[in-house]
Structure 1
C-alpha cells in the first residue's frame, strides 16, 4: 500500500514538474497587462506620451491573458501520455483549472480597470464598444500566437513580418472562422467572469457598509 502511494506521489510530482515552466511563464505573461492596467487606469492621472507608450505595450501583451485558454491542449497531451486516473483527476486537472482561471481572471481585471478609467473620464457609454474591440484584437492575437507562433514583442522586433501575417490570415477563410470562434468564446467567458467579479465586489462593499 505504501509502495503504491509513494509511486503515485512520484508520478504526481513528475506531472507537476512537466508543466511547471509552461505554466509559470504563461502566467507571468498574463499578469503583465494586469499590472500595467493598474498603473494606466487606476493610478495615472493624465494621458502623457509615456502613458500612450505603456498603453501600446498593454495592448500588445493583453492577448497573453486569454491565451491561457488554449493551453488546455497541453492538458490533453498529458492525459494521453499515460498518467494514472488519480494523477489526472487529483493533480493535472486541478493544476490546469487554476492556471487557466488565474490567467483569464487577469484579462477580466485588466478590462475592468480600463472600464473604470473610461467611467472616470465620463466615457462610460463607450465601455462595451471598447471591450468588444479588445476581444476582437485579443482573438487575432491568440490566433497569431497559437498557430503562427508570434510573441507580443514581435510588434517591435518583427513588425513587417507580423503585419504581413495578419493581412494574409485575415484574407483567408479558415483563420477568420477560428478568430470568430475565439472572439465568441472570449466574449462569453468575459461577460460571465465579469459578472461574478462585480457580484463579489458588491457583496464585499455591502459587508463593509454593514459593519460600519
Structure 2
C-alpha cells in the first residue's frame, strides 16, 4: 500500500509536466489568432515540453521493482499496474492530442499534408532525443534555458546503441500516435459490425 501512496508525488509531477504541452497547444493553436512573437516563443516552449508527455512511458522501468514489493499481494499488484496504466494513458493521450491540435492549426493555415507529416515525424524524433536526455542524462525541459552549457557538453556522435534506442523510441511514438488516431474509427467500425 505504501508503494501506491509513495507514487502519488512523482506520478503527479510527471502527469503535470505531461499536460503542459497540451495546455500550450490548446492556447497557441486554438481558434484565435496569436501574435507572431507569442507563436514563436510559445512554440519553442511547446517543443521543449512536448517530450514530457511520452516520457511517462519510460517510467515503466520502476514497475518491476514496485511489483516485487507487493510480496504476492495480487490486489496490490493489480492496483500498481492500474496506477501505472493511468499514468501512461494520461501522458500519451496528452502527447497525441497536442500533436493533433498542432496539425489542425497548420492545416488551417494552408500548410500541405506532406509538410504536416514532416513536422510530425520531426517532433517524434525530437521527443525521442528529449526522452533520452531526460531518462539517461537527467535533463529537464527548462535546462534549455537554465543549463544550456550542460546540454552542449553532450553534443557528440552517438554510439550505435544510442541510435538503436532513439529509433525504437521514435517507432513507439510514431506508431503509437498513428494507432491512437485510428482507434476511434476502428472502434466505430467494430460497433457497427457488432
Same fold (TM over 0.5): yes
Instruction: Give the gaps of 5 or more residues in structure 2.
Output: 190-194
Query: What is the rounded CA distance, in whole Å, between the counterparts of 1:132 and 1:61 in structure 2?
Result: 17
Which consecutive segments of 4 or more residues in structure 1 shift more than 3 A? 197-200
Partner of 1:144: 133
Question: Which residue number in structure 2 is paired with residue 163 of structure 1?
Answer: 152
CA RMSD of aligned residues (A): 1.8
The offset of 1:197, in angstroms, is: 5.0
Report Cα offsets for 1:87-117 as digits up to 9, x if no partner. Answer: 102x111111111011100000000000110
Shift of 1:199: 6.7
Structure 1 spans left out of the alignment, 5+ residues: 1-10, 204-212
Distance 1:199 1:20 in 2: 34
2: CA distance, partners of 1:199 / 1:127: 23
Indicate conservation of the 8 Å contact 2:18/2:52, yes or no: yes
Larger radius of gyration: 1
The partner residue of 1:154 within 116, 133, 143 is: 143
Query: Take 2:184 and 2:62, find their aligned partners in 1: how far apart are those partners?
Result: 28
2:23 & 2:162 partners in 1: Cα distance? 31
| TM-score, scaled to structure 1 | 0.82
TM-score, length basis structure 2: 0.90
- Are 2:37 and 1:49 equivalent residues in the alignment? yes
Corresponding position: 1:176 with 2:163: yes
